[in-house]
Structure formats: structure tokens, C-alpha cells
Structure 1
Amino acid sequence: MRHLLLRNMACPLVATAIVYALCQSVAAAEKYELQVVTDRPDAIYKAGEEATFLISLTKDGKPLTGENGETVMYRVDDFISSGPDYPNGKLTVGSEPATVKVTSPKPGFLRCIVTMDENKQLTKTAGAAFSPLEIQPSLPAPADFDEFWAEQKRKLAEVPAKAKLTPVKQGNSKIECFDLQVDCLGGAPVSGYLGKPKDAQPNSLPAILWVHGAGVRSSSLGKAVKGANEGMLSLDINAHGLPNGKSADFYREQFAGPLRGYPHFGRENRETTYFVGMFLRLIRAMDYLTSQPEWDGKTLIVIGHSQGGGQALAAGGLNERVSFIASGVPAICDHSGRAAGRINGWPKLVTTLPDGTPAAEELKAAQYVDGVNFASRCKADAIMSVGFIDVTCPPSSCYAAYNQLKGKKQVINKPLMGHAAPPEIHKAFFDAVKAHVKEQAGK
């Protein structure tokens, strides 16, 4: 190699390239893997119990030895701040995992964030739950919560539910699909794709409503088809009442323009907050589905993730006909979390003032669109997913809603998952949907 470098010294570019390649080869040979887990696979503890985070490293796929241990930095926090009550510092990781011991005196979640030195740029996070089933609403629902929503429904009923169905092509000859537009209160219609089996008999089909996560996009024809293929009235609606099937540029322009920052629109007043309009479209969509002659009269399912998970909770609380909700890492929950000393959920609807307190007007308005308050009125059966290291929809906000659900329920805990809806969650949710449909058919 020395002769090769000398021979190429006359060509500095070649020599530089060879040196760079050698350095890259050495770096590639030193591949580090960082792992952080809890000493319990489910990462669930009682408040006051001690949890242990285990930090381990491998180099080139092999455990480190005592002689070549590496230094890592760590900090523990409650999703707001590490503070003096939680450990932080540096540890040396060798052949055995390094340990960080923590506890929480009250129900909630802690996370441990571990970083290897800046050159390696490795960071891993693990979460631990403490008595999560004991997490309570951060504030009680407003005394006139039900009255407010009854009035919104009354106003909605004054708008005729004029529907327009336009046939849409898809690949299965046994089902039919349509672009659906239904007039609604507030200027934006219900906009979605509807799918159903052809020639279905009256009172024969369960109904499923698919709702969307945050962002701006067309309704999903694929979801409408998926439900229809399973023998359901299947409606997928976009969150904003936008026309479907437009170019990607159209939705990007909407997101960058008139809908930029939409979650915070009108948040100072319960009458103007953006989510009131979104939830009114939910109500109208459910009314449309349950008005169809093919609906079986007893099975109404709402399914979504993130913002869609929050919409599913709202649907269950606003419509007693909802029989099942599937709510993945739900957003729009626990807006008043800061009032109870914990992090609030997406979209951080309430401003935190410099003194750490929530903005009063925003806090008051937010309570009328809080998934926790809808959950307390939801008698439907339910399934929910929760990521223990989710900083977008923090696990405490999800559990604040989950614990209020009144029907038969199950939760899928993911200790190492952030804000995500991986394939196994989608499968578990739809399997639960099909099991519910089967159970309903036997009633």
C-alpha cells in the first residue's frame, strides 16, 4: 500500500481518494450498535417501584470487553424536563450492560435517552410506564360539554345532507366505489371514497369509517376498497373536506398555503377551533353511513392513527351508534396536561406561558375538543396502540384517554416505539375489526 501511495504522490487527487477510501474502510469496520431496554420486557411498573434501564453496546456485532469499553451520555426525563429528580451523566459500557435506575412516585412515564459520543452519532431511547392504568384526566370535562356538542349537532342538522356520488374505477368487479361529497356545516363538505359490495341486501352490511392522521391529502380509495372487500360499507374521508384525487402539488399547496398551521386555527375560542369543523364532518359521515339501506343497524366502526386516532375517540363520544373504535397513538388528547404537571398531547393546542402555566383562553376552548373528554362518553369497544417513547402523542396523553373508555377495550403497548403505525399494528387493528364484526353478526 505504501508503494501505491508513493507512486501516486504525483497525482494528489488520486492519493487523497485512496486515503479517504482507507478511512472509510476503517470506519465501516467499526460498526457500533447501541441498545437501551428496561429490565422488564413490558416496561410496566407500579408507581414507586424501581425500574432499571439496561444500556448495551456491540462493536462489529460482538459485545465489548472490559478493555475496550465506550463512554455514553444519558439522561432521564418525564417528557418535559430532566430536572434534579432524574439521573443523568456518563457511563462506561463494556461487556455487561450499564444500568440506570429510576422510579416515579406517581402514575406516568419516564424515558431514558442515551447517546454515544458525537463522532459515532448514536442515540437510543427507551420508555418505562408507572401505573399507567391509574392516569387520570388532567382536568374534568366542562360542565356544559354535552350541551355544547348538542348545540353543534342541532346547527348541523339545519344543513341538508345533500350527497353527490361519482363512480370511481377500481379493480374488483364484485364491489363498487364512489367519490362521495356530502354538504356539511362550516363550508367544507364531507369528502371521501365510499366502497361497498355490489347488490348487497338491505340491513346486511357493517359500516367502517377510516379517518386520517395529520397533514393534507386526498381520501384513500385503497382503504375504501379494503373494507368493501371484507363485506362492509367502507368510507374513507380526508380531514379537511378537500376534493379527492388531485395532484400531489395541489395538496402540497394547500398544506403550505390556506391550511398551513391548521391545528391552531381559532384555538382561542371553542366556537372557532379548527377541530370543531373536523368533528362535525365526522358526525355527518357517520350519519351518512348509517342512513344507507345496506347498513346492518348495529355495527359502526371508526379507525385511524394519530390525528385519526383522536378522531376515532371523538366519533365514539359523539355518536352512541359507534360500536368499535381503533385508535392508534391518538392525538388531540390531554390538551390540559400541563395543568397537571405532565406533557400535553399533539398539537400542543394550549400555549405554555413563560411561567410554565397554560394560556387560560386556549385551555378553556381546548377542553371542548379533547379526546379524553370524548373517551369518557364512549361506550364502544376499543383497541388502542401506545408508544412509550412517542414525543408527538406522548403515552401519558394516550392513557389519559384509554382509561376513560367505557366499553370492552385492549391496548397494544410498544415500549420502544415512537410516533408510528407499523405494519403489525395495522394488522392487529384490522384483525380486531374483523373479530368485532363477527361478534356483532352473532348478536
Structure 2
Amino acid sequence: MEVVELYELHYSDLLQLSSDKSLSDEFIEEIQRLESVTRSVMENLGPEGPGLLAITGVPEASNLRRTLLPLARKLALLNNDDRKRLLKEQNLGSDVSLKNPNRDVSSFSMQLKYEQCYERSGCQVDDLDVDNRDGEVDQNEFKKLGCTFKELGYCMMDLGLRLAQICDKAIGGQELQQSLLESGTAKGRLIHYHSAVDNDIVREDAKRNGQSKARNGKVNKNEQSSLKQQGIESSKDQSNDYGLWQQWHYDYGIFTLLTVPMFLLSSHQEAPAAINNDSPVSSKLEFPSPGGHTYLHIFDPKKNQVFIVKAPSESLILQVGEAADILSKGKLRATLHCVCRPPKGENLSRETFVVFLQPAWSKQFSLLDYPLELLALSGQQCGVCCKGTEQSMQVPEELSHDIQKIVPPLLSRLKDGMTFAEFSRETTKQYYGGKGLQSNK
């Protein structure tokens, strides 16, 4: 499949473009350069682009990423009681059932407030264990989990606000940035995509804990039956037919900010530590991406092609959501995407940190002046800025049909005058609800 190398927006240009200060006419060459940068931003986030770009050169982002991401796996493999206590201490929650031993993804979340975005938590990068190269666990490293989470989250929120300001200037008005500020909060998620080895460790841990409780007379027959139905005793890989960690979908907020993923090597030798709770499970050194890319895939319905996303190391990625598509009247375009497993990497896990920026729940959507031809039954159409697309691999007809089948078209979820809360509920219902087209596991 063709690789899409994301457009790189340097942090210094982002600052300059989002500044209220304007350059005098004597800096005509710099003005022209910045205008060219703005055009490139809009082209890449617009209907002829991939709907993503990479932000490079963000101060301290690399250190924060390298500190935070390995903690995702360690949290995922902690025993339930210790993890529950730790998450409560750090003011974190979860978007998935962490007691489900068959989960392929573990997610740890926190609401981040814009009013604190510029009043940073006071977490100093110099104090963080950013040089923990031996792969061993520092027993104190979880103490700064929440602090590091917020510091990187606020950094990414700031980037999103600045990009919204740039897009508003190009489109006209201030609707995107104002909509973000009116929401008051953003959702941060630290995500661990389990390797097959991780799945085995979690299931074995649940199995042994279940047996231990049964010997102590603390598990009744109904509970034992429930454990069996959950598949705790089976080590069968639960990934779907196409080897996806995350199914095809559109993000329905305004922007999604995410780190370039980190891949970690897992080992069955770690299982005793996880099961016996002697110590938190260690994470090995970062492992290079097997394919040299992010394993984030995007689908272009017009070309019937899947593209692989490649981003500069240590960069942060910005992705357009459906709310931005609607508010910009189609000048920004949401992209259909999924997260794919490495084909021969059963002992590799994937770690990432994501911040979802959305409008206020009460924000009303209007279809007035929105190009209705873009609301085709085949879903939002997108283009991909990519050289050599004529050589891109066509998606097999079966896969193309399945992608279209499991992703409900925007027009089926969006009605004129809907609030973002109503749109969010309808989107969630159609993806995962009673007649949802995807598994809610």
C-alpha cells in the first residue's frame, strides 16, 4: 500500500501564524513564506488532503512522550486492585472495561480544562525519568503519571487551539477556536494496544486469580460461569479478520492530537511478575516500527484505496474530526481511519497518547451552506496528497464493502439543528448501539 508522508508544520511557524502580531511590509519574503505555509496547512487538512499533518519541533514534547508512553503498558498489566488504587490517586479513569481479560486495548483517560492550559501543572521535565534506558521499572515513576499526563495534554491542547486559529483565518470567522474554548474541556487518553503476549499475560492473570478465589470459597458458580463465558481460559487471539487493533471510524470532534506511537517488545518471561504481583511489569526498550510507519491507516472512498500514514519521529499529529468538517462547511475534511496490527509482530505492543478536542455539547450544527453532495451515502469523500497514487494498491472488494458497511454515513447521523451532544449520541448508537455495526468490546 502507498505510504502517505505527512506534511510537516514546524512549531516556530505555528507560533508565528497564530500570533496577533503582523509583519511589516519590509519582511515581504517572510510574509509570502508564511502565506505559503497556511495554504499547505489548508490543502492537507482540506478535501484534497489526507486530513492530517505533523507538528515538529515542539519543546519538551519528545521528553514527555518518552516518559509517559511506556507507562501505558505497565498500567495495563498491573493487577486490577493496584491499578484501581493508582488511577484514583492520579485522578485518572478508563474508557474501557479493564476487568475484561479479552480486551485488545487498555485506555486511561482524564478531562483536561482549558482554563488550566496556560497555568501548567508545574511538572518539570527535568524531574521526570526520561533517561530510563535500562527498561527497568522505577518504583516511583507512577507518582508523576498524572502530572506528566496533564503536561503533555495541555501542550497538545495549545497546539489544537493555534491550528484552529489558523484555519479560522483562512476560512473566515472564529468558529473553530471559539467552539473549542466554549467546550471548557478536552479528553486525554493514554492508550496501550496489547500485543498477543500481553493478552496471554492478562488472561493468565485473570485465570489464576479466579482459581485462587475459588479455592478460598469467594467465587460462586455464577461467577465461575461468567469467567468462562468471558473466555478467560482461552488464549485465542481476539483480533478481527483484518488484524486491526481499532476498527475503521471517523473521529467526531473538531481535532484529534496524538503522539507518534511507540512500539515495545513484550516477553512471556514477564508473566510471573504480573501474576504474582511481585512488582509492576517492566517495559522493554522502544522497538523501531516494523514497517517504519505509524500503523495508522486511512481510507479514500473516492479512490477505493487504503494509505499508510508515516510521520516524523517525535512529532505530534493533528487529525480533522467530523465537527470541524461540519463547522467549516467542508473546507476541512474528516478522514476515515483505523489502527492496524503489524503482520508479524505478535510480541509488539503499541503505545500512544491522544487528546480529543471537541465543541461544547450544546453547540448547534447547521447544514446551511454545507455542500450536500459531500453527504453521499458512501460517506465523506477525501483525497490524499501523495506522489505515485496511481501505483497504490486497490482495496479488495470484500474489504471495501466491509469498511463501507461498518461505518455509518454522516448524513444518517447528522440532522440540521442538531447539538453536538445529539450528534455524539447518534454516532455512538449507530457505531456501537443496539443495532450498531461494530463491536463495543
Class of the TM-score when normalised by the shorter of the 2 chains = under 0.3
Task: Specify which structure has the higher proportion of strand.
Answer: 1
Task: Specify which structure has the higher proportion of helix.
Answer: 2
Q: Structure with the greater relative contact order (CA < 8 A, sep ≥ 6): 1 or 2? A: 2
TM-score, normalised to structure 1, is 0.20
Structure of larger gyration radius: 1
TM-score, normalised to structure 2, is 0.20
